[in-house]
Amino acid sequence: MIVGLLLQGCATTKILTLEPQALDGQQKVIQEGREAIFSPKKALVTIRPGANTYSSDGRPKFVVTVVNSTEEPFDFSTEDIQVFVDGEPHKVFTYDELVADVKREQPLSDRNRTEQFLSVLNTTALKRTTVLPRAWHGGYVTIEKIPNANHLRDVRVVIRAAGEDHEFLFKHYKAQQ
């Protein structure tokens, strides 16, 4: 019985947070009511957590926006984003992988719900796009669950835009409830 209670306690859902940390040359800004980090180079890049908190049962999300301040267009997608948790490479999901997940996880009999999920994904997830001069592009980026949520983690996000890397730092930890 005690072992069962201990296992149950380990399996409980945790509420987690990703806190933006501005690095040299960056500044914190407020974007849609949440702290974000702004990095100005050839392309202007802003990143923020997808939500103030999230459940350990779900995958963390970021909202990434790029503004092309150059005279040349560039392609941009999740393939231009790398994530590292405590220095180790971490999975970034492509739009196509997220669509496949929705189709795989939803029962075939619930076609309406599947279509709703796909519609939301289509309008919010970051997809490959050519960013024209003085134009912007953005969307949600989903990463794999961050392991060992009870411990403070450094999450580094490297975004390549207009031929330059923008590096961002987030502190990942259990939120106070």
pLDDT greater at residue 48 or residue 3: 48
pLDDT at residue 140 tops 80: yes
In angstroms, the CA 58 to CA 139 distance is 18
What pLDDT is attached to residue 109?
A: 67
What mean pLDDT is predicted for residues 90-94? Answer: 98
For residue 17, count other CB atoms closer than 10 A to its CB. Answer: 17
Total structural domains within the chain: 1
Q: What average pLDDT does the segment 17-45 reach?
A: 95
The residues near 80 (Cβ < 8 Å, ≥ 6 apart) are 159, 160, 161
Range of the domain at 140: 14-174
Structure tokens at 112: 């309406």
CATH number for 19 = 2.60.40.10
Looking at residue 177, what is its pLDDT?
63
**Domain assignment present for 2:** no
Task: Name the pTM for this structure.
Answer: 0.89
